[in-house]
A = this chain, B = another copy of it.
């Protein structure tokens, strides 16, 4: 299938495509899939050339990909991502960095970088990504897209290269809430009508993590959404510090990711960008006490989050505390930014709850996402509310997305 790719989103080492079924709710639509998702007969590359070189073609197509194709959508290609889905900026040291059309001098975000870039660049109607520690939410924020990390376990991971299975999810991107919902109806296997949550909590501590200009831009939109909801209030959600939750999430995910790949790394001694190698090395030498402490605290953190989300409540927070960083920053600049981002993405990650990022705001002409987190299983409600929110914000503020170009 001929494919134009001016932004370097599509993997040039595979021609995996799948023609959509002739009937179904997604007929006529095109999509891309992060190259962590299997397509039968093609090697899944995982964003690393040594993974690609040391694995056989997939024997089955990922459940999510097949479901979309069966619903009539055509998969036009696989997309680049951070290596082995380890990274949040989308700067792959082997394959380059897809262009973020909404901010071409900035990173697209990752790890589902190519999928986000392809949707933002209008090369496809929607795209699949994966989100373990933020890999759909972050590029959605940076590229000005709708993106969802579903409830952990709510969408089949069948045929997806795992990273840290306790946190791995498959999510998707779209340029508007309607498209996010159409895809969601297929992947969540249910109807998604416009709806509103019962309550909203604006997470004060999450806003406090954000850069001041980002917080200032997001607050009025958050307030606007809150007013669409019956009850709402503003308060911190973490009794200590979100950096503590992030610390536990980082330890748990790194350790689990190391276990997923340790045998392969032992056998192959693969090439990684230094930052990715360092993550694995760090996972390999996890301090046992630190790991035990994180394991012990995780259920308490989940209980706290569940408690906030009870009775149809949603948490509203910045998806990322910043707009997309400039491309090719030194690691010493990028690392504290990464840590700050994870202070926000760790919340849904730890609790296994769904989060949706809404592209309703720009700061200095560059998009940044506002997020809603819901209880486990509230995926359809979040998407349904995104439809309401998009209409409401669109009618009161004008379409800020279009204002960008």
Among A266, A269, A270, A282, residue most surrounded by chain B Cβ atoms (within 10 Å):
A269
Cβ of A330 < 8 Å from any Cβ of B? yes
CB proximity to B under 8 Å, residues A15-72: 50
With A and B bound together, what is the CA distance between A272 and B93 in angstroms? 10
Residue A275 is within 8 A (CB to CB) of chain B in the complex: yes
Establish whether residues B267 and A274, one from each chain, have CB atoms under 8 Å apart when the complex forms: no
Give the residue name and chain of the B residue nearest to A262 (CB): B332
A307-362 contacts to B, CB under 8 A, are 330-332
> Once the chains bind, are A271 and B94 in contact (CB under 8 Å)?
yes
Q: Size range of the interface on A? A: 20 to 34
Identical chains bound together, number: 2
Closest residue of B by beta carbon distance from A94: B271
* Interchain CB contact under 8 A, A93 and B274: no
A331-B266 contact given A281-B281, A281-B282, A282-B281, CB 8 Å threshold:
yes
Binary per-residue interface labels of chain A (186-207) against chain B in the complex, 1 for a CB within 8 Å, 0 otherwise: 0000000000000000000000
B274 touches A270 (CB 8 A): yes
Name the contact of A330 in the complex, choosing from B94, B266, B278 (C-beta under 8 A).
B266
Given contacts A278-B277, A281-B278, contact A331 B269 (CB under 8 A): yes
Task: Flag A273-312 by CB within 8 Å of B: 1 or 0 each.
Answer: 1110110111010000000000000000000000000000
CB distance from A348 to the nearest CB of B (A): 28
Judge whether A330 and B267 touch: CB under 8 Å.
Answer: yes
Q: Considering the chains assembled together, what is the distance between the CA atoms of A93 and B268 in angstroms?
A: 9
Q: Which residues on the B side are within 8 Å of A277 (C-beta)?
A: 272, 274, 277-278, 281
Do residues A273 and B269 form an inter-chain contact, with CB atoms below 8 A?
yes
A94 neighbours in B (Cβ, 8 Å): 271
A265 interface residue per 8 A CB criterion? yes
Q: A265 and B93 in contact (CB under 8 A), knowing A277-B281, A278-B281, A282-B281? A: no
Apart from A50-B93, A271-B271, 9 more pairs, CB < 8 Å? A91-B269, A266-B331, A267-B330, A269-B273, A269-B331, A270-B274, A272-B274, A278-B281, A281-B281
Listed from nearest, the 5 A-B pairs whose CB atoms lie closest are A277-B277, A281-B281, A266-B330, A278-B281, A266-B331
